[in-house]
Structure 1
Amino acid sequence: MNKLILFFFFFTLMSGASAQFQAIENEDDVPEYKLPDPLKAFNGKNIRNTKKWESKRRPELLKFFTQNMYGEIPGTLEISSVELLEKSASALNGAAERKQVDLYFKNSGKTLHFTVLMYLPKTAGKKPIFLGYNFLGNHTITDDVNIVISSAWAPDNPSYGIINNQLTEQSRGVGSDRWPVEKIIDAGFGLATIYYGEVDPDIDDFSNGIHPLLYVDDQQQPADNEWGAITAWAWGLSRTMDYFETDDSIDESKVIVLGHSRLGKTALWAGARDQRFAAVISNNSGCGGAALSKRRFGETIWRINRSFPHWFCKNFKYYSKNEEKLPVDQHELIALIAPRPVYIASAEEDLWADPKGEFLSAMYASPVYKLYGKEGIDLTEMPALNQPIQNTVAYHIRTGKHNITDFDWDQYLKWATKYVK
């Protein structure tokens, strides 16, 4: 009898442990929640003008997100040197200039470098530019044989020839559907991209990437309030902006930072932290990005912290299955970008990223933009599919899945031409 009881005990235990996470995918199942007012300080005082926003509310929100979600960078680290790897004035069949530079960083006897690939229009003067990370190496964004293949760690993917965590020639151009380089150049913009794994490999291991360069004494991993991978990737975008300020071919006042999925979260955080970015684009960024956490729709804080424990700082785990205790939400992350233009995009079939929660974030961030006299989102209902709202705060939901598509890029180029270029 005891053995039978013991069997059922372990069966129940293992069944619970192996049970799949049941995501909310029906609006009727969304719990009741109350969103914090971005224009009400933590002490309850109303914020009525941009001066108070900038002196009181913005700093306290930025501090909370830093200390309790994305993590503090424990020091400063500037570019130690820049190496021009390659340059051509006849890229894309003569339509563009191509440039590849390595940015080097040194500290505590350690060195890190990452490669910035740039395509620039062959026009006079400084160029506006889109800046974003790619997932599998710079060489994957086009079939251009001149793009250097990274030696950094990459997740195995035998179908792309990625074995033993090494990128190879076989994966050249496999991500070109997400990067319409010719279209971007034709619109008068440049494109700069970086393999995010060169800044910090996307794995739960803080012994690699940029983190060890800022460890002190015998530190092995970040402190509870210190940076996870998303802040590390945001750090890399800011250091690239440092480089842009020295490059006479790039208009550093017109740099648009963008990202898809986890890199969309990164773009939002980079734009919130670094006000030098002229505009921000979040494509399907979901939980920890544009989607409201308190809705618990699709991916939740608990799920994302469990699946990707290295993305956020350890303090964020306090809010796993505890969203009601959050004194902020993601609409206030978007508000931190004000008054600079921001574009939030969703996909109809991407329920994991909570399209409605992304829309609501953009809508509830709009009052901060209105303080600056900027046009936000006045609609209280989501727009129809493939019908973009293109204001300073922009939004669209398109047909299709979790991806970045030609439709998305068509909207971003049109919007950026109006609000940045």
Structure 2
Amino acid sequence: MTMLTRALLGATALCACGFAAAAQETTTLTIATVNNGDMIRMQGLADAFTEANPNIELEWVTLEENVLRQNVTTDIATNGGQYDVITIGTYEVPIWGRQNWLVPLNDLPAEYDVDDLLPPIRAGLSVDDTLYAVPFYGESSFVMYRKDLAEAAGVTIPEQPTWDEIKAAAAAMNDPDAGIHGICLRGKAGWGENMAFLTTMANSYGARWFDENWQPQFDSPEWKAAITDYLDLMNNYGPPGASSNGFNENLTLFQQGKCGMWIDATVAGSFVTDPNNSTVADQVGFALAPDAGQGKRANWLWAWSLAIPSSSDAPEEAKQFLAWATSKDYANLVAETEGWANVPPGTRTSLYENPDYVAAAPFAQMTIDSINAADPNQPTRDPVPYTGVQFVAIPEFQGLGTTVGQEFSAALAGQKTADEALAAAQELALQEMTSAGYIQQ
């Protein structure tokens, strides 16, 4: 062996050792997410990602919705760097994107096919045509109901119901002696819990959070009508302890056969029709969210999305994970392991053009119709100075929405009258908007 050969072999060995050392280096991504069914399913399937990316490890922080929002907001506002991937919604993305708190996502690989994202969902996750989050699932809201109970009660729930028809159906199906409540609605306080539902219900009655001069409108007859009807529905036909019920609690009640109707997120469609988890899977019907004759339905527009905080020290690895978790390949993986009906809905045009999905998901058409019907720029009958359907897209809304939600939750619990809750909401909103400078004294 010549000296040159020995040198070349030695150099090769050193290079191999260097590559081996590099290959052993791993990056840990800390992912903050919400404790709902689709996100938990993603965690169960994440081995497919780590097997394809052995240099990346995943660490999950799974939290209840209100807690997740609080923790993530605190971390990103303080540049804490606790998370590499965060689960956030359509409310936060535009606000945080403008603050440069999120990593832009306009350089995703071509095979990701950004143009396949549903236009209303993509627009809600962009600022000046720059994408700052990718949707894990998108949703609006609709009516889910027990077809067997409706038939037995002699009522018909049309595809485009009014609130009067919903009230009549709730009364007819209500049978507390049998443990069946005519209707289940959100009561848990939170800007993304009871106020998501109540804001859209109010929209359908012609109510609005603020007039064009940012003056609060809780003293309007439209808000009075919406809250009065909400309390009447829940007090007469709702489950006990409803002021503590959010999405997950009502989902459990419906799956257990204890709700005649449930008006909530379209993403619940796959859960209530899943025979492995729902006792009424073969008896569920769907309808658009109700209206009150004002030209607007009580349906919202939302996407639980994945984003990367600017404080992350592993943005490129985080982009790899985002691209995987919200890709067409991930949808196919869910279909192979869980069935097409369980694919995360409301994100891609191609999903609703897929005959396998449409055939497996009886809620598919109602979901896409509801998403397309929501209008963030004109959420209610009269003009408003804000965008957002079930929220007001200003930074102050997160705190204000929750404090107002506490007033209405207290009314549902019997601690206040509707008038008292509305008066308190009006005063809270007036103080906040004045101190924040929206209203000039």
TM (norm. structure 2) is: 0.25
Which structure has the higher relative contact order (CA within 8 Å, separation 6+)? 2
> Which structure shows the higher strand fraction?
1
> Which structure shows the higher helix fraction?
2
Of structures 1 and 2, the larger Rg is shown by: 2
